[in-house]
């Protein structure tokens, strides 16, 4: 080979190397600047000031869009993008590798290079024409893109490539942060490590000797394979999830990661007592060690649990104990997670991981009361079932009203049940929420509690329609869908006061019921509903996947769940009922919502009815109708309705007819939106103004009154507050703006109770 040939070959290698370097640089996938608000003129040109734009990795859009590669979610009608790439040399055959849904314009160095109409479902290679190719240069190049979207899928992803050697696209980058909203509640603004959820967490079984561990802990996120956190990433505020604003962290936990916590505290062991460590909520699978001793594991993200740490306390150094907690949370598969989603959109919201409920200690005697069951009858008969840990001891139960003891019972042991007879019983109802104080002594263990006397049932009216009853009297249940999400705490209310504010507003608005939707609240929530007289429908937290959603049509199908997942579902359902069944406010259990995770429906319905015969069972609110439980439930948006025509051959004859969801009328309130750049929405489209919004609500109530006359026994309006992109709440997400005053709502609701 001649010197000339060698020089030419070297030049070709250099050129190829330069293009290869450019390709590698491009597919390192640098971030874009982007905005979803129309920018000033010249936005596509070099030198434009885009310092106020956001930063994100491509592509942009809805991850469910066919053929897309999405790193940054985008749901608004338009998006504008800019990024600078560096080319060592212009590619031999310059081209755009693009996925667009829908129309897109691409600019190179301030000049339009290509226009794309409509949408595509896979990446396409578009060779630049001669004029567009000349816009590229060695060195820095500005790529700018404008994409418009009107419906369906949503995606824009653009790359400069060499058509002669198209590289493979890298995987999309996963986000490390949830969406960070500026929204915060007035209560959230006041939260500190010193005041975060200081209230006693278990109002129906109270002991004086307890210690609150909420406050500042250490945290770390490691690969899931790590057997320890070698160093801590920083501080986290417990009891708020790692993704939440109030945690002080706002990081996502991925399915290949573990979240670690560390907390030191002082606890003095005692030979006469056991020490229990309680977690009110931790999502999802956790393990815990105290002073290097494994103290327990728990699976399930929705319910309280506890470990006996007495023996591990003995290993403390100088009385100071170190607690280590490890958490995994995939937020996927069959996991019971409700509205949480790794890709929040529509009716699905930011994931919640790790500790998100109060952590606390209590000391108990060697024999102590673990739990209590209470069954009441309107004649004043109250039956108690005591779950006692340790050797049996003498038991004494005393009931009091307004400070005066009204009944006492004693027994040599807890036995199977203990009865009290309350003279001239005062019954619990929304209009008169009478609660009796309760003192229980089991040996040396003394706890205080309370109960309300009431009976929930059903009866047929003169026209043969099934009606819900309370204490033997018919009662129309009307309340909101209440999801219990917060912009600053996510699934954790910012404070006890904030949580009670919601209930107070709904009570003042004339609702007599709340449907607690796919969430289990802190136990203080249920106690407060007991105190002020608010009936509750309690949902089981949903899992997935689903069968086809056929609503109330004949011949429904169930989805098949593997045995392990089904067992976890039933365990959480049973535990939820066990922990909440003493609350007089709870009138209805709802095992399934719509068709979400709906499996073995008849079996689950029959089990739930047998498990708690003192309440009504709505087996699948809005879901596929099977002859199980007591209720047939239709979801209808925006205005309420019921498919009476499907009541053929007596299918619904033995069931109470309800409209388990309706409404969802949206009204955006500027300055109080979770995300100003997203597609905020309500059912039936958004009204032109507040007057139209109010009229839509009035129309829904008028229709519900008419449906009541045709046999509907209850209605559930969607919803209490806005939640992320849903703006169909009666109040804004931050609870700062009330869309319809409580007094005005109460006046509109009066006709439902006549």
Q: What is the DSSP letter of 25?
A: H
Task: Give pTM, 2 decimals.
Answer: 0.92
Q: Which fold has domain 3-162?
A: Jelly Rolls (2.60.120)
CATH 3.20.20.80 assigned to 477-753: yes
Distance between CA atoms of 392 and 219, rounded to whole angstroms? Answer: 42
Helix, coil or strand: residue 47: coil
Q: Nearest Cα to 323, choosing from 368, 355, 352, 363?
A: 355
Report the first-to-last Cα separation within the chain, whole angstroms.
103
Helix, coil or strand: residue 542: coil
Position 27 confidence tier, pLDDT thresholds 50, 70, 90: low
What is the H or E stretch that residue 743 is in?
A: helix 742-749
- Residues 632, 582, 375: CA angle, nearest 5 degrees: 85
Contact 442, 388 (CB under 8 A): yes
Homologous superfamily of 188-365:
Galactose-binding domain-like (2.60.120.260)
- Percentage of the chain lying above the pLDDT 70 cut: 96
Q: How large is the average pLDDT for residues 75-97?
A: 94
Q: Nearest Cα to 511, choosing from 692, 719, 691?
A: 719
Contact 550, 229 (CB under 8 A): no
Contact 417, 493 (CB under 8 A): no
Distance between CA atoms of 123 and 709, rounded to whole angstroms? Answer: 56
| Structural domain spans, the chain | 3-162, 188-365, 477-753
pLDDT of residue 678: 75
Residue 576 backbone dihedrals phi, psi, to 5 degrees? -60, -45
Least confident of 200-209, 419-428, 679-688: 679-688
- Residues 469, 470, 473: CA angle, nearest 5 degrees: 65
Contact 576, 519 (CB under 8 A): no
Q: Nearest Cα to 160, choosing from 129, 127, 186, 134?
A: 127
Residues 319-364: tens digit of each pLDDT: 899 999 999 999 999 999 999 999 898 899 999 999 999 999 999 9
- Structure-block tokens of residue 41: 């003129």
How many Cβ atoms sit within 10 Å of the Cβ of residue 685? 10
Average pLDDT, the chain: 94
Residue 459 backbone dihedrals phi, psi, to 5 degrees? -155, 160
pLDDT of residue 738: 98
Residues 155-206: tens digit of each pLDDT: 999 999 999 999 889 899 989 999 999 999 999 999 999 999 999 999 999 9
Distance between CA atoms of 306 and 241, rounded to whole angstroms? Answer: 19
Q: What is the DSSP letter of 134?
A: T
pLDDT of residue 9: 41
Helix axes 742-749, 690-709, angle to 10 degrees: 30
pLDDT for residue 699 is more than 80: yes
pLDDT of residue 723: 98
What is the H or E stretch that residue 708 is in?
A: helix 690-709
Q: Nearest Cα to 342, choosing from 70, 659, 658?
A: 70
β-strand partners of 724: none
Residues 411-420: contacts with CB under 8 Å, at least 24 apart? 414/386, 414/388, 414/442, 416/385, 417/383, 417/384, 417/385, 418/383, 418/384, 418/386, 419/381, 419/382, 419/383, 419/384, 420/381, 420/382, 420/384
Residue 651 backbone dihedrals phi, psi, to 5 degrees? -60, -35
pLDDT for residue 521 is more than 60: yes
pLDDT for residue 5 is more than 80: no
E strands along 351-427, which residues?
A: 354-355, 359-365, 368-376, 381-389, 395-401, 404-411, 418-421
Contact 454, 426 (CB under 8 A): no
pLDDT for residue 6 is more than 60: no
Between the CA of residue 49 and those of 57, 136, 362, 511, what are the distances in Å? Answer: 19, 21, 58, 52
- Structure-block tokens of residue 611: 């498990």
Contact 73, 345 (CB under 8 A): yes
Q: Give the torsion through C-alpha atoms of 220, 297, 336, 283, to 10 deg.
A: -30
Q: Nearest Cα to 529, choosing from 433, 438, 646, 439?
A: 433
Please tell me whether the peptide bond between 102 and the residue prior to it is cis, using omega within 30 degrees of 0: yes
Distance between CA atoms of 644 and 304, rounded to whole angstroms? Answer: 41
Helix, coil or strand: residue 748: helix
Position 427 confidence tier, pLDDT thresholds 50, 70, 90: very high
Distance between CA atoms of 293 and 311, rounded to whole angstroms? Answer: 9
Helix axes 523-532, 496-508, angle to 10 degrees: 30
Position 16 confidence tier, pLDDT thresholds 50, 70, 90: very low
**Identical topology for domains 3-162 and 188-365:** yes
């Amino acid at each position: 080979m001649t010197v000339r040939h060698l020089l030419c070959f070297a030049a070709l290698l250099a050129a190829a190397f330069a293009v290869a370097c450019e390709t590698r640089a491009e597919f390192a996938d640098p971030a874009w600047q982007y905005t979803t608000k129309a920018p000033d003129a010249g936005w596509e040109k070099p030198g434009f000031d885009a310092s106020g734009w956001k930063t994100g990795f491509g592509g942009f859009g809805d991850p469910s869009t066919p053929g897309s590669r999405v790193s940054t979610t985008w749901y608004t009608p338009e998006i504008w993008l800019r990024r600078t790439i560096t080319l060592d040399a212009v590619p031999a055959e310059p081209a755009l590798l693009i996925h667009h849904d829908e129309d897109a314009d691409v600019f190179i160095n301030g000049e339009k290079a290509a226009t794309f109409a409509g949408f595509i479902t896979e990446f396409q290679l578009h060779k630049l024409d001669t004029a567009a190719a000349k816009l590229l240069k060695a060195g820095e190049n500005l790529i700018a893109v404008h994409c418009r979207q009107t419906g369906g899928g949503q995606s824009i992803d653009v790359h400069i490539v060499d058509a002669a050697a198209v590289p493979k696209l890298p995987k999309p980058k996963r986000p490390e942060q949830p969406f960070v909203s500026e929204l915060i509640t007035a209560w959230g603004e006041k939260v500190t490590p010193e005041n975060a959820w200081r209230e006693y967490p278990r109002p129906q079984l109270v002991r004086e000797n307890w210690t609150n561990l909420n406050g500042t802990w250490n945290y770390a996120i490691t690969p899931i394979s790590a057997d320890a956190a070698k160093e801590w990433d920083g501080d986290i505020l417990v009891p708020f999830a790692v993704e939440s604003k109030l945690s002080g962290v706002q990081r996502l936990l991925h399915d290949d990661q573990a979240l670690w916590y560390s907390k030191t505290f002082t606890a003095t062991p005692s030979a006469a007592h056991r020490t229990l460590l309680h977690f009110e909520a931790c999502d999802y699978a956790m393990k815990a060690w105290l002073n290097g001793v494994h103290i327990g594991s728990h699976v399930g993200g929705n319910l309280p649990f506890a470990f006996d740490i007495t023996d591990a306390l003995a290993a403390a150094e100088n009385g100071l104990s170190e607690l280590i907690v490890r958490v995994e949370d995939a937020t996927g598969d069959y996991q019971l997670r409700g509205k949480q989603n790794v890709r929040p959109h529509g009716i699905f919201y930011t994931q919640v991981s790790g500790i998100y409920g109060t952590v606390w200690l209590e000391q108990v005697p060697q024999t102590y009361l673990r739990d209590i069951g209470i069954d009441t009858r309107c004649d004043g008969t109250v039956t108690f079932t005591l779950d006692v840990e340790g050797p049996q001891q003498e038991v004494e139960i005393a009931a009091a009203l307004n400070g005066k003891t009204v009944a006492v019972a004693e027994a040599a042991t807890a036995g199977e049940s203990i009865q009290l007879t309350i003279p001239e019983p005062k019954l619990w109802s929304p209009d008169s929420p009478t609660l009796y104080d309760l003192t229980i002594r089991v040996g040396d263990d003394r706890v205080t509690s309370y109960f309300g006397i009431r009976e929930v049932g059903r009866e047929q009216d003169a026209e043969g329609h099934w009606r819900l009853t309370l204490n033997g009297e018919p009662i129309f249940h009307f309340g909101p869908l209440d999801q219990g999400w917060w912009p600053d705490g996510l699934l954790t209310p910012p404070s006890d006061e904030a949580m009670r504010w919601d209930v107070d507003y709904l009570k003042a608005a004339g609702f007599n019921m709340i449907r607690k939707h796919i969430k289990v609240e802190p136990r203080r929530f249920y106690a407060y509903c007991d105190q002020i007289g608010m009936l509750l429908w309690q949902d089981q937290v949903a899992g997935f996947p689903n069968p086809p959603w056929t609503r109330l049509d004949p011949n429904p199908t169930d989805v098949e769940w593997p045995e392990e997942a089904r067992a976890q579902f039933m365990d959480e359902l049973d535990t939820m009922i066990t922990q909440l069944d003493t609350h007089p406010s709870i009138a209805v259990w709802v095992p399934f919502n719509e068709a979400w995770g709906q499996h073995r429906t008849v079996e689950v319905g029959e089990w739930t009815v047998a498990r708690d015969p003192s309440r009504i069972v709505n087996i699948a609110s809005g879901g596929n109708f099977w002859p199980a439980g007591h209720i047939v439930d239709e979801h209808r948006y925006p205005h309420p309705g019921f498919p009476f025509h499907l009541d053929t051959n007596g299918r619904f004859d033995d069931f109470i007819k309800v409209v388990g969801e309706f409404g969802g009328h949206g009204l955006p309130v500027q300055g109080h939106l979770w995300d100003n750049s997203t597609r905020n929405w309500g059912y039936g489209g958004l009204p032109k103004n507040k007057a139209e919004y109010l009229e839509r609500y009035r129309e829904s109530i008028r229709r519900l009154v008419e449906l009541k006359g045709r046999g509907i026994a209850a209605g559930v309006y969607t919803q209490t507050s806005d939640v992320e992109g849903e703006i169909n709440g009666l109040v804004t997400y931050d609870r700062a703006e009330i869309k319809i005053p409580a007094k005005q709502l109460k006046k509109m609701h009066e006709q439902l109770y006549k």
